[in-house]
Structure 1
Amino acid sequence: MKLTGAGVTALAVASFLPTPDAKATTMTSNWDKVFPRNEAVDHQKVSFTNRYGVTLSGDLYRPKGRDGERLAALAVGGPFGAVKEQSSGLYAQTMAARGFVALAFDASFTGESGGEPRNLASPDINTEDFMAAVDFLGLHPSVDQERIGVIGICGWGGMALNAVATDKRVKAVATSTMYDMSRVMSRGYNDSVTPEQRAQSLEQMSRQRWIDARNGAPAYGPAANELKGGEPQFLVDYHAYYMTPRGYHARAVNSGNAWTITTPLSFMNFPLMTYIAEISPRPILLIHGENAHSRYFSETAFAAAAEPKELLIIPGASHVDLYDRVDLIPFDRLTEFFQEHLS
């Protein structure tokens, strides 16, 4: 995810790039993750369809030696602009090693999932993607459908909370280094976008629709997470994950690819946190780094949520640290949380 101060304006005025050649790819059977395989966990490529008819691609992780049991399950998504071979897959495999069935999946229009045009996001459709993952898990023979939880990472943390507020089948939700994408796209970081800047962004993106309609395809913004010098530290941190062997994946939007220029439009008037209090009485665990530039998203969500809720701040951690730093990601607390509430 890369949006600077007035993030929407920056995206909207970007140079117009042609439609990328990327298409939804046939699911690979190779291990092409950015993290090592855990031999204590079974891995299976799966697909399922959401309510809008988009076929989603996932990696299903199950603990070995538990065949014939119906286990608690987790749907895991994020970060925004990432693919299941990155952070969500690491979380899913790690939780599977701790006794859960866990599904990491690509969002509609990204990665190996279907949907055209490519590299597009929608707060409604991406919320539905989480619900479709719950559909899939609840019908899987290794899952107890009354014991399903959700983990949302980065921008998919906001989508996870929105999904769980609606989907009463989910018994518990945790987010890690959460972004409220509707807030940052409509107001910029730390709500710094002025009404005039917002109006300008909407004007530009509205007119971009005529250009896209005339061309028969959307234009794309700048390549994500390329550095030119002088960027704030959090953008340097994104580059260090998405653009180096640590986390680079060719299918990820954030690894040097680009979103459609009009992607922010659907987020501008769609506040994801409106009904967060309706998650109660089901529990929420919000995890964030002490030094994360995005920490205020979790703090605001925590204030708006109803009990039971917990805000866990990880000392010394940045936003990106919680993507893959297994020494900092509180997997013990995540395990305890879901063992308690999916029992």
Structure 2
Amino acid sequence: MKITALTTAAVLMTSTAAIAQMETRTVTFENEGSTLSGTLYLPEGHDGSALPTVVVTGAWTTVEEQMPAIYAEEMVERGFAAFTFDFRGWGKSGDLAQNARFVESPEAKISDIEAAFEFVATLPEVDQAQINGLGICASAGYMVDAVAGNDLVNRIGLVAPWLQNEEIVNAVYGGEDGVNGLIDVSRAAEAAGGDIIPAAGPTGTEGVLMPFDGYYVDPQRGAIPAYDNQWNNAGWEGWLTYHPADNPNRLTQPLAIVHSEAAAIPQGVRTFLEGFTGDATLKMLEEVTQFDFYDNPEDVTRAADTIADHFAAPSDQAS
């Protein structure tokens, strides 16, 4: 494996994205019997020619208007078309299955990303030879799985990736006993037809998935009207038994990662890269939190510059 490590100073010096206007088009596509809602982002006044394109996906429980839209706009400013969408069971898209909503299902979300790649490849504005995938936070693992072995996808980028394995899951969720307890909750919720709770609330709030102050509870940040702010406890088992950090070798496309030691589980990135045999660009920013990567302008710009440079590299050039 070849890993290119970029310094913070280098990224700051190469932050050159121009402010650009853009236009959007709402579209729908199908996957496994459900209709998904998505948005195609194009430069304003685009003449209809085929552009290199980035499919962008966001953190768990989120909708396309949050961090996916922010990074889609950043990609358009750098000369790409971009595509975002709501996963099945979230936002404007149809149900996952049997009226199930708000289930964080890695299997379903991977399938939805694969369907999104197939859909964008049919659009006349998309250069089929230059389709790329950008996964943020939890969807980084989903993006890796959707890209692996997928001839439609040229390159992959991950921003603040949450790449977990069993060891990390146990450390985050209270050890084996904590994990097994949540799996019991999951199975009971599934048997009951679902058990939906608020996804986020202020620190100290009882009965929510994420008791956070900041991004998810701030209307100027993630707490936008489009955000469902729901979590179905039936999703715990699928999430806790999903270990993308352990399976890097399935990915063959060139990879770029932007992360920080101050963000969530950087050890997952290290574990993933230790087993990755392809070409990887790794950019570790200093003192950038997980939520900063979602919408802090300076940090988003630096991450987007690294990812866009990676996507723009010639196909025969190692990252």
- Do the structures match in fold with TM over 0.5? yes
Distance, in Å, in 2 between the alignment partners of 1:182 and 1:276 is 11
1:146-198 deviation per Cα after TM superposition (whole angstroms, max 9, x unaligned):
11000001111111111111423211000111113675995352xx6433333
Letter in 1 for 2:86: D
Question: What is aligned with 1:89?
Answer: 69
TM-score (norm 2): 0.82
Letter in 2 for 1:244: D
| Residues 1:225 and 2:200 aligned together | yes
Question: What is aligned with 1:53?
Answer: 33
| Residues 1:67 and 2:41 aligned together | no
Question: What is aligned with 1:207?
Answer: 188
| Residues 1:265 and 2:241 aligned together | no
User: Aligned to 1:293, what secondary structure does the other structure show?
Assistant: coil
Distance 1:196 1:134, change over 3 A: same
Question: What is aligned with 1:19?
Answer: none
Question: What is aligned with 2:306?
Answer: 333
Do 2:56 and 2:135's aligned partners in 1 also have CA atoms closer than 8 Å?
yes
2:135 to 133, 152, 168: 152
Distance, in Å, in 2 between the alignment partners of 1:140 and 1:86 is 24
Distance, in Å, in 2 between the alignment partners of 1:39 and 1:308 is 31
2:115 to 129, 132, 141: 132
Do 1:289 and 1:322's aligned partners in 2 also have CA atoms closer than 8 Å?
no
- Count the aligned residue pairs: 289
1:100-120 deviation per Cα after TM superposition (whole angstroms, max 9, x unaligned):
110011111001111132211
Question: What is aligned with 1:123?
Answer: 106
Distance 1:229 1:275, change over 3 A: closer
Letter in 1 for 2:74: T
Higher strand share: 2
User: Aligned to 2:38, what secondary structure does the other structure show?
Assistant: strand
Do 1:291 and 1:317's aligned partners in 2 also have CA atoms closer than 8 Å?
yes
Question: What is aligned with 1:240?
Answer: 214
> Which runs of 5 or more structure 2 residues have no equivalent in the other structure?
1-18
1:195 to 173, 176, 189: 176
Letter in 2 for 1:196: D
User: Aligned to 1:259, what secondary structure does the other structure show?
Assistant: strand
| Residues 1:250 and 2:250 aligned together | no
Aligned-residue CA RMSD in angstroms?
2.5
Letter in 1 for 2:194: P
Distance 1:67 1:271, change over 3 A: same
Distance, in Å, in 1 between the alignment partners of 2:166 and 2:27 is 32
Distance, in Å, in 1 between the alignment partners of 2:82 and 2:114 is 14
Do 2:25 and 2:41's aligned partners in 1 also have CA atoms closer than 8 Å?
yes
Do 2:258 and 2:306's aligned partners in 1 also have CA atoms closer than 8 Å?
no
Distance, in Å, in 2 between the alignment partners of 1:309 and 1:74 is 18
Distance, in Å, in 2 between the alignment partners of 1:208 and 1:80 is 19
Distance 1:108 1:173, change over 3 A: same
Do 1:148 and 1:172's aligned partners in 2 also have CA atoms closer than 8 Å?
yes
1:115-163 deviation per Cα after TM superposition (whole angstroms, max 9, x unaligned):
1322112111100111111111100001111110000011111111111
Distance 1:166 1:136, change over 3 A: same
User: Aligned to 2:46, what secondary structure does the other structure show?
Assistant: coil
Question: What is aligned with 2:249?
Answer: 277
Question: What is aligned with 1:320?
Answer: 291
Letter in 2 for 1:336: D
Do 2:56 and 2:72's aligned partners in 1 also have CA atoms closer than 8 Å?
yes
**Could you tell which deviates more after superposition, 303-312 or 261-270?**
261-270
1:180-235 deviation per Cα after TM superposition (whole angstroms, max 9, x unaligned):
3675995352xx6433333333334333433x1xxxx31123x222124499xxx7
Do 2:159 and 2:257's aligned partners in 1 also have CA atoms closer than 8 Å?
yes
Distance, in Å, in 1 between the alignment partners of 2:65 and 2:128 is 25
Question: What is aligned with 2:4?
Answer: none
1:257-289 deviation per Cα after TM superposition (whole angstroms, max 9, x unaligned):
321111112234343345422322x21111112
Distance, in Å, in 2 between the alignment partners of 1:241 and 1:168 is 36
Letter in 1 for 2:272: A
Question: What is aligned with 2:155?
Answer: 172
